Structure 1
Amino acid sequence: MSETTLSTGPAAGPGFSPADRYRDIAVHLDGSPEDETRLAHAEALAVSFQARLTGIFVNPLPDPAVYVGDFGMLAVDDLRDAVIENGNATEPRLQERLARLAPPHELRRIDASPGMLEEAVASEARWNDLFVATCPRGRDNARWSAMVESVMFNGGRGLFLVPPQAPLRSVIRTVLVAWVDNRQSARAVAEALPFLRQAGQVHVVTVSEKAHGRMGGAEALADITAHLVRHGVEATATVLGTEASPADGLLAEAGRVGADLIVAGAYGHSRFREWILGGVTEDLLANSPLPLLVAH
């Protein structure tokens, strides 16, 4: 791997102000053991930014479309009753768990069938500044891929994705921004500004198959890094030239700089399997050992 780095120099802007904080953070809950991982990260973020935390308890009802005939309708009614009863047992446990959190908080519950459930969760995401969920990898977490996809593409806000069972990082000090000159990357940077303002180091990184320009392509990042400086963010711009996949190059660079968070645009169409741009977003979701902040 080859790289070219351009430092912006010291930040010339105001210090971190209350206006740059996340005020409302939502976290996906489903009653599974993974709730503890999500809650640990969400609580730490809420404490760091002095934000209010809302737990979104998602209780998926059976899909009536897969049942036909009178017998099928009876079956779906029985299943629906069982799911609601299970949700009624889970909700008090989640209320008790949230009561032990330090930040101001509340619990909201969504009982809905596929399609309506994903839209309901995206609607909750829209009035929050950040939505915390698990990367949809592995059999247990992949069942939430449609919900994550809906928040990502329809929620309109940043999505903070935690690898399954990822240990909590005490402070997010170093952030790697995976930059491409397009709308999605711009959205991700805008949604991540509170993190960038708090970070001690910010690395803006792009991957190029062939180095070009007098600085190997780093001059192409001059505008975005200068923009960050005007927001009080000192950033280093790096162009990676790699024979590996872009995602592998970004993950290797994240490890090299000791990143605690990767910020990236979410590319693609309506489904995870259709994501484009060399599968970078999908590869990061599948393989990143670090939390991801993505936006579309």
Structure 2
Amino acid sequence: MTFKTIVAIVQNEQDAERVLDGAIALASRFGAHVIGVHAEALPMPYTSATGFPDTEFLQVSADLNKERSAKLKAIFQKRLQPSGLSFEWRAQETFSGDSALSSLSSVRAADLVVAAQRDAGGDSNADIGSLIYDAGRPVLVVPHAGPAAASFRHVMLAWNGSREAARAAFDALPFMIGAEKVEIFVVDPGEDGDEDDAGGAGIAAALSRHGVKASVAIRQSKGGTIEDAVQNRLVETGADMIVVGAYSHSWLHRLLYGGVTRTVLRSSPVTAFLSR
């Protein structure tokens, strides 16, 4: 298994460099085609004092959108042209102006999506959570800090025996096969997922047959949250990638208690690979 089509979600200038760093590094490793996706919001009409649509405002908004989209396209092309990779740029105008939500038709025909971690308090973030939920394809989330990488030395798989965790584990095989070490990290085994493999032994054996150097670590939350246990383990082990089965809890559980997916999207210190 490998990644031959990679979609880069380019929402704004702040995202562009770190997303393209990751996408280009990965595409160079796997010989992949890169598709840059960006969306601008359709200008919404406002009524003037005379009761008619403010056409001047619409025109100014449309011009600003075109200028911003053209600038991002230029950044994308400047980065890709010297790489020798095949690439294309897809710009759209949608009601939301969200490059993640507007990219679904592109990502469903891709092997991997690369996106930026949300900026705390940012008002122009792409909705990566909804993209992961609806895409049907794995998403690699580049963190705020740290170098973009095409391969990872130590991968941590957050395992709870769920369907989503299983999907993520096998989607991430190209990274885990090349890693020096893969740790299957289990918190409170038996409380979630499939009782037959709540402790991770079955998935460890399956991954090992692919040549993955897999081991299992089990922890009890002891009244803390699973999210804290996962974050603490990342720091303890020095892992440089986390693999997560996204949204394996019900919406009500996530609403009341949060979840690993949300924590990873907002504050993971390392590259995150999410699939569901």
The equivalent residue for 2:18 is 37
The equivalent residue for 2:80 is 98
Query: Partner of 1:99: helix, strand, or coil?
Result: helix
1:275–1:281 CA contact under 8 A, matched in 2? no
Structure 1: stretches of 5+ with no match in the other structure: 1-19, 212-216
The equivalent residue for 1:108 is 90
Change (3 A) 1:245 1:219: closer
d(CA) in 2 for partners of 1:170 and 1:88?
A: 28
Query: Partner of 1:220: helix, strand, or coil?
Result: coil
AA aligned to 1:237 is: V
Match of 2:61 among 68, 76, 79: 79
d(CA) in 2 for partners of 1:113 and 1:269?
A: 30
Identity of aligned residues (%): 28
Query: Partner of 2:203: helix, strand, or coil?
Result: helix
Match of 2:163 among 175, 180, 183: 183
Match of 2:102 among 120, 123, 141: 120
Change (3 A) 1:240 1:163: same
Question: CA offsets, 1:144-170, max 9 Å, x none?
Answer: 342x13321111110000112432347
2:151–2:175 CA contact under 8 A, matched in 1? no
Structure 2: stretches of 5+ with no match in the other structure: none
Change (3 A) 1:123 1:276: farther
d(CA) in 2 for partners of 1:289 and 1:60?
A: 29
Query: Partner of 2:26: helix, strand, or coil?
Result: helix
Count of paired positions: 267
Change (3 A) 1:115 1:105: closer
The equivalent residue for 1:282 is 262
The equivalent residue for 1:26 is 7
Change (3 A) 1:175 1:248: same
d(CA) in 2 for partners of 1:119 and 1:202?
A: 32
Given the two structures, how large is their TM-score scaled by the length of structure 2? 0.83
Q: Which moved more, 1:70-79 or 1:35-44?
A: 70-79
Counterparts of 1:244-259 in structure 2 under 5 Å?
A: 244-259=224-239
Tell me by how many angstroms 1:128 deviates: 1.1
Change (3 A) 1:150 1:242: closer
1:153 and 2:116 are equivalent in the alignment: no
Relative contact order (C-alpha < 8 Å, sep 6+): which is higher?
1
2:160–2:189 CA contact under 8 A, matched in 1? no
Question: CA offsets, 1:212-244, max 9 Å, x none?
Answer: xxxxx9973111111112222231011111343
AA aligned to 2:9 is: H
Query: Partner of 1:71: helix, strand, or coil?
Result: coil
Given the two structures, how large is their TM-score scaled by the length of structure 1? 0.78
d(CA) in 2 for partners of 1:270 and 1:118?
A: 23
* Root mean square deviation of aligned Cα: 3.1
Tell me by how many angstroms 1:263 deviates: 0.3
Query: Partner of 2:52: helix, strand, or coil?
Result: helix
AA aligned to 2:87 is: H
The equivalent residue for 2:217 is 238
The equivalent residue for 2:274 is 294
Change (3 A) 1:194 1:67: farther
Q: Give every structure 1 segment of 4 or more consecutive aligned residues whose post-TM-superposition deviation is greater than 6 Å.
A: 268-271
The equivalent residue for 1:55 is 36
